Amino acid sequence: MWTMSESDAEEQATDPEDSSENGGVPSESEVRLVHAARNGDNAAFGELVQRYERRVFKVIRRFIPDLEMATDLVQESFLRAFERIDQFDPSRRFGPWLFRLAVNLTYDHLRKIRRRGKWALFTDAGEDRAPDPAVVDPRKNLDLSQEVQVVLAEIPEAYRTVLILRDLEGFCTADVAAVTDRSEATIRWRLAEARKMFREAWERRERRAEKTRLVQDDI
Amino acid sequence: MKEILMVTNCAEAKHLIHLDVGDDLRVEEELQLATHMQQCGDCRSYHADMSRSMNTLLTLRNAPAFDSLLATSVWPLLSRELARRHTSPRVARKFNMQVVALSVSALSLAVVTMVQSLSSMRNDQNPTGVVPGLTVSESSKIQQLETVDDNAGIVRAPFYPHEAIGSQPVSF
Ligand SMILES: [Zn+2]
């Protein structure tokens, strides 16, 4: 039986053409701006900010629905980029490097929230309770995209990120590899697994919804 | 060419299907999958299911909730912050040895206290000096045999006479 694993995928990435190293060539204007920003030109950095901020915001919003928090994280991402611009390799494209900072900051933020929830003195007790059939399930009022969002949240972070960047934000697999600091072969493997996970999670949700419908019809 | 003609099994075909639904197959993989699907009804129906699930996922791509743009550019605020950082002098950071010294002292104190309390616990367990299972006179004989070598300062281990003559060990 064919059983390919993520480590197999990693091993396949020995060809430099197939690795995340090949994230494309930066444009001339971008090289100029990055060079100027590295030499302390704030206006050049400002131009980079204005070029990328909407895209960064959109990616962060996929993970953080709160508008204000997402905006704060955009700012934080650019601040970090400014602080670390000396570490950036100017022969690469600025975009993937910036998105990597933004995604990592977003992960950190999500982890902080999870940790806070874990150690909180009082947690939401409602989550584990069996649903009361007499109470209308608020999920019933979700539109399709909201339901998809709920299902997407069930997918493990590493896979969800690949799905978000590739399928929802339209990054090419080489860029997803550069953003996540993985080889392109690993990203292709994760992408295949993530799409399968989404399908299974969606089907589970449909089955649950069907069961609930039947129970309510009986009542 | 040899690779394309290779027969793909269903597990491999499914992996390719997961990539195909998002247009992520290379040309040779597309051919490989097409060849397999021509002969495999299961994989054809799996492909149809995966395409449906992919379309469902893609409803999020242009969902209005994610289309809300950044209200205003972050640059004005950011440039002020950068200017502030630039003008405020950086406080030089120095490694604080005092913290390390204090931590080491506290740790040593804790170890010493632990060792002392352990030894006093051992003494408390047998304050009479009577070896369990032996009479008082037998115990006092043993105590006489426990000697301290004053020259070397080494406490000799207690010697139990009944062990030497092969009697039953004392059960504690
Ligand atoms: Zn098949």
Q: Are residues A18 and A35 in the same domain?
A: yes
Cross-chain residue pair B71–A168, CB shorter than 8 Å: no
Using an 8 Å CB-CB cutoff, list chain B residues near A79.
78, 81-82
Which of A93, A118, A143 is a domain's end point? A118
How far apart CA A21 and CA A209 sit, in angstroms, is: 44
Number of Cβ atoms within 10 Å of the Cβ of A75: 17
Using an 8 Å CB-CB cutoff, list chain A residues near B58.
167-168
Average confidence (pLDDT) over A145-157: 92
Q: Are residues A126 and A114 in the same domain?
A: no
Indicate the average pLDDT of chain A: 83
Cross-chain residue pair A49–B74, CB shorter than 8 Å: yes
Cross-chain residue pair B21–A193, CB shorter than 8 Å: no
Q: Are residues A113 and A131 in the same domain?
A: no
Q: Which residue has the higher pLDDT, A4 or A50?
A: A50
Q: Bridge-partner residues for B155, per DSSP?
A: B148
Residues 6+ apart with CB under 8 A from A161: A103, A180
pTM of the model: 0.67
- Which amino acid appears at position B85 of this protein? R
A155/B contact by beta carbon, under 8 A: no
Residue B129: what pLDDT? 53
Residue A213: what pLDDT? 82
| B155 three-class SS | strand
Confidence of residue A122 (pLDDT cuts 50, 70, 90): low
Average confidence (pLDDT) over B45-61: 96
Measure B105 CA to nearest chain A CA, in Å. 31
Q: Are residues A170 and A98 in the same domain?
A: no
Q: What is the CATH number of the domain that holds A64?
A: 1.10.1740.10
**Residue A67 scores a pLDDT above 60:** yes
How far apart CA A49 and CA B70 sit, in angstroms, is: 12
Give, in degrees to the nearest 5, the angle at Cα A160 between A158 and A164: 125
Q: Are residues A27 and A101 in the same domain?
A: yes
B28/A contact by beta carbon, under 8 A: no
Residues 44..73 of B with a Cβ closer than 8 Å to A: which? 49-50, 53-54, 56-61, 63-66, 68-71, 73
Which of A91, A118, A145 is a domain's end point? A118
Cβ atoms of residues B50 and B17 within 8 Å:
yes
Measure A105 CA to nearest chain B CA, in Å. 17
Q: How far is CA B23 from CA A167, A198, B27, B54, in A?
A: 10, 17, 10, 11
Looking at the structure of chain A, the number of domains it has is 2
Residue B161: what pLDDT? 44
Q: Which residue has the higher pLDDT, B17 or B125?
A: B17
Q: Are residues A102 and A133 in the same domain?
A: no
Q: Are residues A21 and A110 in the same domain?
A: yes
Q: Are residues A104 and A137 in the same domain?
A: no
**Residue B42 scores a pLDDT above 90:** yes
Using an 8 Å CB-CB cutoff, list chain B residues near A145.
59-60, 63-65
Residue B70: what pLDDT? 75
Residue A1 lies in a domain: no
How far apart CA A49 and CA A90 sit, in angstroms, is: 16
A172/B contact by beta carbon, under 8 A: no
Q: What is the CATH number of the domain that holds A214?
A: 1.10.10.10
**Residue B160 scores a pLDDT above 50:** no
Q: Poorest-confidence range of A178-192, B23-37, B61-75, B122-136?
A: B122-136
Q: Which residue has the higher pLDDT, A61 or B155?
A: A61
How far apart CA A90 and CA A77 sit, in angstroms, is: 18
> Which of the 8 DSSP states describes residue A121?
S
pLDDT in tens, B70-106: 778 889 988 888 888 777 655 556 677 788 888 888 8
Average confidence (pLDDT) over A178-183: 95
How far apart CA A149 and CA A155 sit, in angstroms, is: 10
Q: Are residues A160 and A209 in the same domain?
A: yes
Q: How far is CA A80 from CA A114, B4, B73, B82, in A?
A: 23, 47, 17, 11
Residue B132: what pLDDT? 55
Residues of chain A with pLDDT > 90, as a percent, come to 61
A63/B contact by beta carbon, under 8 A: no
Q: Bridge-partner residues for B148, per DSSP?
A: B155
How far, in Å, from the CA of A166 to the mean position of ligand 1?
A: 26
Q: Are residues A140 and A93 in the same domain?
A: no
Query: What ipTM describes this predicted complex?
Result: 0.78
Number of Cβ atoms within 10 Å of the Cβ of A3: 7
Residue A97: what pLDDT? 96
User: Residue A144: which of B59, B79, B81 has the nearest Cβ?
Assistant: B59
Which of A100, A118, A136 is a domain's end point? A118
Measure A168 CA to nearest chain B CA, in Å. 5
How far apart CA A87 and CA A93 sit, in angstroms, is: 13
How far, in Å, from the CA of B13 to the mean position of ligand 1?
A: 6
Confidence of residue A106 (pLDDT cuts 50, 70, 90): very high
Q: Which domain holds residue A113?
A: 10-118
Using an 8 Å CB-CB cutoff, list chain B residues near A74.
70, 74
Confidence of residue B127 (pLDDT cuts 50, 70, 90): low
Cβ atoms of residues A171 and A179 within 8 Å:
yes
**Residue B5 scores a pLDDT above 70:** no
Q: Which residue has the higher pLDDT, A104 or B83?
A: A104
